[in-house]
Structure 1
Amino acid sequence: MSKTKLSKDNYLNRELSWIGFNERVLAIALNQKTPLLEQAKFSAIFSNNLDEFFMVRVASLKSQVEAGITKRSEDNQTPKEQLINIRKHLEPLLKKQQSHYKNNLISSYINEKIFLLEYKDLNDRQRTWVDNYFQTAIFPVLTPLAVDPAHPFPFVSNLSLNIAALIRDPETGKEQFARVKVPGRTMDRFITIPNDLSGIDPNPIYNAIPIEQIVAFNLHMLFPGMKVEQHSFFRVTRDADLELRDLEADDLMIALEEGLRKRRIGGEVVRLEVSKDIPVTILELLMEGMAVEEADLYHIDGLLGLDDLQALLKIDMPVLKYPQQRGQTHKLLKSSQRGLLEDGSIKQEEFKSIFSIIKKQDLLLHHPFDLFSTSVEEFINQSAEDPQVMGIKMTLYRVSKDSKIIEALIRAAENGKQVMALVELKARFDEDNNIQWAKQLEKSGVHVVYGVLGLKTHTKIALVIRKEKERLRSYFHIGTGNYNSKTSKLYTDLGLLSVNPELGQDLIELFNYLTGFSKQQTFRKLLVAPVTLRKGMEALIRREIKFAKNGKTGKIRAKMNSLVDPNIINLLYEASEAGVQIELIIRGMCCLYPQRNGLSENIKVISVIGRYLEHSRVFWFHNDGNSEVFIGSADWMRRNLDRRVEAVTPIEDKNLKEELSQLLDIYLNDNCNSWEMNKDGIFIQQKSQDKEKSAQNLLIHTNKK
């Protein structure tokens, strides 16, 4: 073990580090160089991220406080102290977001003939249309709920948008509280008003009003004979973490389905958002009715639930969005495509099976720049139809709702192949989707398993067994991202297609570990969590320390989503002191402090946040000039190293190693979407001094050549 260096002064709180990441997401929304509709998208992502943060992380801390747990975090904070600091850091960000929406976005949209209206802004013709729309399309689905001795305070579901109103009986003068839930999933948040009703501009492109404004100003229709004295908007966030015991597969599915029903309703309230101008009487009734404490109350000066701004991307104005980019088919796979390619059709005599291409050399895929559909999906598609393929095994963590891969697995089973799919039911916020896929796969004859008891299976692996000349050959894909066609266009991820026999044998044994009772403790080349990954990574870091101490070059470069694990951080500090040069590209949480004298002066940390979500993981070690490079599904976090099944593979082909080294160079040289972390743990956005170098843009244009 390395020397103990961690203290509250050199380990950054993980919750505050996460908030720092989400602040960088918000910064893209606030950046004037970001196209206007993309600004709305990133603001929506900021809000959606925050919702999940409250439902899981804040909920966990609150549960600890309520249970009387005072155990301190690595940076020496109690759960209660962390909650206080979370609020302190979030409030100014929420104000920035609302100010940007009201003072920048709305006015900028007007210049583009896009009008996001409030009810008070409507002209007479628009108001008549909106009121008629309310009566015909909204009114019938609303259910006003009164609160009195005969009607207890209604349950308010998780993330629902609501209107609280005070209603007065003009005959008795008695006031009564009522709650109206605004239609959510079944209706659009922004209701479009016919453009020909506009009196603001003769040729508007888009007119819309938030649905809650329509409901709020027609509340009198819900309470005939009563007077609506006051109204205000509110939104509730509840604990959404599922508590699951280690159960057998069938019991686990039942428990999950029950847990998901509870999640839709929600657990304890962890946040109450209210309009800034909410009347005191209504606020007091809300807080009392839902047992909300002052610490969980957030006054919002503007529109609640800005995650719905994502809907604005539907506006057909390409000039206000990022230029449309479509990946290319990997250059070595163009002859393996059936049908038309972007550069023309492949003649039948020129067609090569994807297996014949992979057999000749390893292929490194980089999505979305390399198309997922013509690489990974094509690999599984051809596997489903190739008569020489005997079996297919895959892990499925997050799968798109219209998955071509699921269709291919079902087709393979129908073609008589042995097909096994490990579906991770506990993939947070994708549980319901995965349960439905698991049931459909089972009905189609696919052997479905749910992983290792007590561990979440996060690894991204696909194994295809093919019979060739009286022998079986293993073809496989090992990736950093999910087998999800939707996210493959939005996230940057890496993958290896190979027939390396030792890696293939490792994968066979790993699948046996996942599906049976194997207690595999060693692998030939793969680094597998929770068995060998931590030890393997620590050994690789220690080897660089040894080189540096012996007067040789020690160097580590790594790209990942998060760096949180205390032991790894401790070891990196030791490596820095020994003279190892360390360059880290961390998208999200980083609990390590770089550039500190006597601790981490040889460590550089940057974060790249761009139009695509950086999701690839690369680990590069100098190894005295004979570099070793790995890619895989794991970050340097305790959960990835100790509590999940992960697979990290070496990249051994010399050309592919060089390609990954150049890829790291591209990210480290980014001066447009890059933020560098200073010794105080604060990320400072890098400003281009000369020519702008955007890693993602460079990769887009390089891939097109």
Structure 2
Amino acid sequence: MSISKASHQSNDDSLTATDRIVQQIEESNYISRDLSWLKFNYRVLDQAKHIDRSIFDRLKFLAITSSNLDEFCTIRLGSLYNYLDYGKERFDYNGLREEPFRKLLLLETQKFYKDQNDYYVNRLKPLFLKNGFSIVSYNELSLENTHKVNDYFNKTIYPMLTPMVFDSYHTFPVLMNNRLLFGVVTKNANDHHNLQKVSFIQVPQNLPRFYEIPEDDVIQFVPIEEVISNNIHNLFRNVEIVSANLFRINRNGDFTLEESEDIESNFLEDLKRKLKTRRSGRVVRLETMEDPDPWMMRLLKIQWDLDEHNIFYVPKESMLDFSGLHQIIGHKEFKTKRFHSPDPIKPLNFPEHGTRDLFEVLKERDILLHHPYNSMEPVLDLIEKAADDPYTLSIKVTLYRVARESRITAALLRAAENGKHVSVLFEVKARFDEENNLREAQRLQKAGCFVIYGVGNLKTHTKLCLIVRKEEEDKVYRYVHLSSGNYNEATARLYVDIGLLTTKEIYANDVSEFFNVITGHSQPSTYRNLITSPRDMRIQLCNLIRREAENARNGIQAGVVMKMNSLQDKELIDELFAASQAGVQVKLIVRGMCCLRPGRKGVSENIEVTSIVGEYLEHSRIYYFHNSGSPKVYIGSADAMVRSFDRRIESLFLLDDEFLKKQAVNNLRYNLKDNVNAYTMKEDGTYVIKELNGEPNFNIHKEFYNVTREIVSSAKLF
């Protein structure tokens, strides 16, 4: 913990409230989900500290931490406020009640925020000039450039601004979430009561964050807030401007307590209403430049029911909202200075990619794809060919997040126009992609696709595709794709995911049955190679762990290796604890939050936790069980979280091809071997960079481009 440890005394009465909180956290076998997430964002911030990266890539990671923190406040802090505002009782994993935990969580978030700003100001900003750009204030501009900026304000910005006054005649305006805002405090000399008023101005989000001024060897970027602040007098004629204060807010965007039980009733309209609620939900965090007007701050605290824990102050040398840096990071002038992925390699068991018809190859063998090291093109090719192919009868697919100009949805539209039966389960509740998903789903529906907008109050997170082709007179083939990743060709170049292409009947039967369950009212008796939720995923995974524990107790070699985004489910954690105590070696690769405390004497001595954070976002989920030397390996969409097991439609699939199983084993082996992107979780919940121990650097984000069949064939974990 970053809270200072108390020297615990035997007499509980002598402990301060802070001491008790620290003691309670340290004694728990579980790590707080939210505090663990903050540790993850520190690991992302660490990426901005790599001096071997260009300044643009370092700023990219800084911008990611800013977006991450916005989502954290909107959803996780928002969820906590659901309990506080609705008077619901809540205990965190470490046993803290809602109000003490709120203060602790905001204290830790404040610390991260300070570290983030300090690093930007002291370490990154001094590097700008020698890299060909600078972020300049209005007062630093030459006279000529000042005229340019003022002209830009008058012609472009000024017509878009709308001051919204709050006084006894005007209600408090609804200020937008995650938007730069000005609170302008004014006085009227003719007002005998000399009363102050505040007007709010929302900075247009469809304008660039910076006004660009190309010079001979440096591009000057002038923040839009500087342009507005220095011209704000144009909006307030004949009144005195007391202060102009830049700030920003995060609103509660979590709907957990508001979800309707009868969600089938007019669901689309309900979703649209909730999207509007996100824009006007309660404020949970207020960011402001340091030294704001105290009168305005008192007003905002009262209006939004905030205290100092919710207020985040930005140093004048820094900037509000680092995600605005993407304009500089992505600038065409710096294209050659940013990280570019190597060209993808061909899948190990599909070296003919690009020279043979995929439909024919899949009749011969299964193909395992590992993105971004393998291109997503085989999946896109399969769906695009099926859309135009006269032999294709139907396409069924689950969509969670799609690219803005999605080739997948374009192919599905063509398929429907070509008379194919197209069924799409489009998860319009995918967080922050709701509006794009809703728009795409309605396009598909209008084209004649059978569109299912989610299943009841469950979120459909599984990634499955089923293509049915009648290729001979009486011969029908079913082509199946199962994956951990979204059908999104943009993120497939940045996210590490794993997927299977197959025509095997054992998979086709399971997936066909699964589609009948999620689109109809079928209740399957059993699946052969699928584990699904909310049906039985938790119990099946726990049973597999129990089997390893039983083997260990009987003197048989046992082992569990799991790779996932997040580990939070207490029941599964308890099974891992029991397995550790039985002597099972448990190795966990958890990118983000991990609520399991490893290495605790008598509890989790045989459990180690690694986190991989680097150039690519680790997104694949792989579950390995030693099974007396005949490993069971599952891949799929599910993390080990309560929401994944109870409130989502998820699937994991068993690999049955021996070579593909070896590929997955090698995937885990490489992750455990990485000593460049890897962090080791300590018993106290902190993370340290993995030690080299005299070994050469091993960076999986490079090494996976060099994998061969020979390397895979020799892969072992235990």
Normalised-by-shorter TM-score class: over 0.9
What residue is the counterpart of 1:346 in the other structure? none
Match of 1:378 among 355, 378, 381: 381
Q: 2:591 aligns with which of 562, 587, 591?
A: 587
Q: Percent identity?
A: 35
User: Which residue of 679, 682, 705 maps to 1:678?
Assistant: 682
Secondary structure at the counterpart of residue 499 of structure 2:
strand
- Distance of 2:526 and 2:348 partners within structure 1: 36
- Whether the 8 Å CA contact 1:521–1:532 is kept in 2: the answer is no
Select which of 645, 650, 659 maps to 2:663: 659
Shift of 1:511: 0.4
* Superposition deviation, residue 246 in structure 1: 4.4
Shift of 1:262: 2.8
Per-residue deviation, 1:214: 0.6
Deviation at 1:63, TM superposition (A): 1.9
C-alpha spacing 1:177/1:700, structure 2 compared with 1 (3 Å) = farther
Per the alignment, residue 277 of structure 2 pairs with 262
SS, match of residue 411 in structure 1: helix
Match of 2:499 in 1: 495
For 1:73-92, list aligned pairs within 5 A: 73-92=92-111
Alpha-carbon distance in structure 2 between the residues aligned to 1:278 and 1:176:
15
Cα 1:686–1:7, aligned 2, differ >3 Å: closer, same or farther?
closer
d(CA) in 2 for partners of 1:332, 1:546: 36
Q: Aligned-pair distance for 1:225?
A: 2.4
Could you list the per-position Cα deviations for residues 327-383 of structure 1 after superposition, in whole angstroms to 9, with x for gaps in the alignment?
24436556454xxxxxxxxxxxxx5321111111111001111111x2111111111
Between 593-602 and 182-191, the greater mean CA deviation after superposition: 182-191
Shift of 1:88: 1.9
How far does residue 247 in structure 1 lie from its aligned partner after superposition?
4.4
Pair 1:215 & 2:235 matched: no
Residue matched to 1:691: 696
| Matching residue's letter, 2:268 | M
Determine the C-alpha separation between the residues in 1 that align with 2:381 and 2:187: 65
Q: How many angstroms does 1:544 deviate by?
A: 0.8
What amino acid is the match of 2:267? L
Q: Tell me whether 1:571 sits opposite 2:586 in the alignment.
A: no
Do the aligned partners of residues 703 and 129 (structure 1) sit closer, same or farther apart at CA in structure 2, a change above 3 Å counting? farther
The answer to whether structure 1 residue 314 and structure 2 residue 330 are counterparts is yes
Determine whether 1:361 maps to 2:361.
no
Q: Distance in 1 between matches of 2:49 and 2:502?
A: 43
Question: Which residue in the other structure is 1:700 paired with?
Answer: 705
| Amino acid corresponding to residue 308 of structure 1 in structure 2 | G
Q: Which residue of 1 aligns with 2:88?
A: 69
- Residue 294 in structure 1 maps to residue 294 in structure 2: no
Paired AA for residue 210 in structure 1: P
Secondary structure class of the residue paired with 2:226:
helix
TM-score, reference length from structure 1: 0.92
- The one of 292, 301, 321 equivalent to 1:278 is 292
How far apart, in 2, do the equivalents of 1:292 and 1:598 lie? 43
Provide the aligned C-alpha RMSD in A. 2.1
Aligned-pair CA distance for 1:319: 5.1
Q: Which runs of 5+ in 1 are unaligned?
A: 1-5, 196-201, 338-350
- The answer (yes or no) to whether the contact 2:548–2:579 under 8 Å persists in 1 is yes
The letter of the residue matching 1:55 is T
Answer yes or no: is the 8 Å Cα contact 2:346–2:353 preserved in 1: no
1:679 maps to a residue whose letter is E
Distance 2:217 2:92 in 1: 57
- 1:451 is displaced (CA, Å) by 3.6
User: 1:451 touches 1:515 (CA, 8 Å); kept in 2?
Assistant: no
Match of 1:58 in 2: 77
> Which residue pairs with 1:251 in the alignment?
266
- Paired with 1:172 and 1:501, the residues of 2 have a C-alpha distance of 82
Pair 1:37-2:34 in alignment? no
What is the letter of the counterpart of residue 304 of structure 1? L
SS of 1:364's equivalent in the other structure is strand
Verify: 1:330 aligned to 2:347, yes or no: yes
SS at match of 1:101: helix
| Deviations 1:221-276, CA, capped at 9 Å, x for gaps | 1112233232221111111224332446571111111222332x221111111111
Counterparts of 1:8 and 1:438 in 2: how far apart (Å)?
Answer: 48
Partner Cα separation in structure 1 for residue 27 and residue 365 of structure 2: 49
The CA deviation at 1:8 is: 5.8
Could you tell me which amino acid in structure 2 is paired with residue 412 of structure 1?
Answer: A
AA of the residue aligned to 2:217: N
- Does 2:261 align with 1:241? no
**Which residue number corresponds to residue 544 of structure 1?**
548
Distance 1:163 1:157 in 2: 12
Q: Which moved more, 1:240-249 or 1:55-64?
A: 240-249
- The answer (yes or no) to whether the contact 1:167–1:226 under 8 Å persists in 2 is yes
Q: Deviations over 1:586-644 (max 9, x none)?
A: 00111111111111111110000011110000111111111111100001111111221
Contact 1:220 1:226 in 2 (8 A): no
Change (3 A) 1:7 1:448: farther
Q: Who is 1:446 aligned against?
A: 449
Taking the TM superposition and a 5 Å limit, the aligned residue runs for 1:33-182 are 33-170=52-189, 174=194, 176-182=196-202
Residues of 2 paired with 1:100 and 1:611: CA distance?
20
How big is the shift at 1:142? 0.7
Q: Distance in 1 between matches of 2:62 and 2:415?
A: 42
Distance 1:85 1:246, change over 3 A: same
**Alpha-carbon separation, structure 2, partners of 1:106 and 1:122:** 18
Map Cα deviations across residues 270-307 of structure 1 (whole Å, 9 max, x no partner): 11111112132232233234343333222222311122
CA distance in 1, matches of 2:119, 2:705: 30
Report the equivalent of 2:8: none
- 1:418–1:246: structure 2 CA closer, same or farther, 3 Å change rule? farther
**Equivalence for 1:184:** 204
Normalised TM-score (structure 2): 0.91
**Length, aligned pairs only:** 678
Select between 121-130 and 66-75 the one with higher mean Cα deviation.
Answer: 66-75
1:94 is paired with a residue whose SS is helix
Provide the C-alpha distance between the structure 2 equivalents of 1:453 and 1:125, rounded to a whole number of angstroms: 61
- Name the structure 1 match of 2:242: 229
User: Hey, what does 2:47 align to over in structure 1?
Assistant: 28
User: Separation in 2 of the partners of 1:60 and 1:680?
Assistant: 25
Residues 608, 667 of structure 1: 8 Å contact kept: yes
What one-letter code is carried by the residue in structure 2 that aligns with 1:307?
A: S
| Contact preservation (8 Å) 2:429, 2:454 | no
Per-residue deviation, 1:23: 1.3
**Taking structure 1 as reference, are residues 87 and 664 closer, same or farther at Cα in structure 2, changes over 3 Å only?**
same
Contact 1:522 1:531 in 2 (8 A): no
Distance across 2 between alignment mates of 1:230 and 1:522: 68
Distance 1:33 1:177 in 2: 51
Question: Partner letter of residue 133 of structure 1?
Answer: Y
Q: Is the 8 A contact 1:165 1:230 kept in 2?
A: yes
The one-letter code sitting in structure 2 at the alignment partner of 1:188 is: P
Shift of 1:388: 1.8
Cα distance in 2, alignment partners of residues 104 and 124 from structure 1: 30
1:341 counterpart residue number: none
Distance 1:181 1:486, change over 3 A: farther
Q: CA deviation at 1:542?
A: 1.0
1:305 corresponds, among 302, 321, 338, to 321
1:399 and 2:416 are equivalent in the alignment: no
Mapping 1:445-464, distance limit 5 Å: 445-464=448-467
Q: Deviations over 1:181-224 (max 9, x none)?
A: 243321011111242xxxxxx421x2111101110111111112
Distance 1:31 1:266, change over 3 A: farther
Aligned 8 A contact 2:533 2:651 in 1: yes
Whether 1:12 aligns to 2:16 is: no
Q: Give per-residue Cα distances to partners, 1:563-603, cap 9 Å, x unaligned.
A: 10001100001111111111110001111111111111111
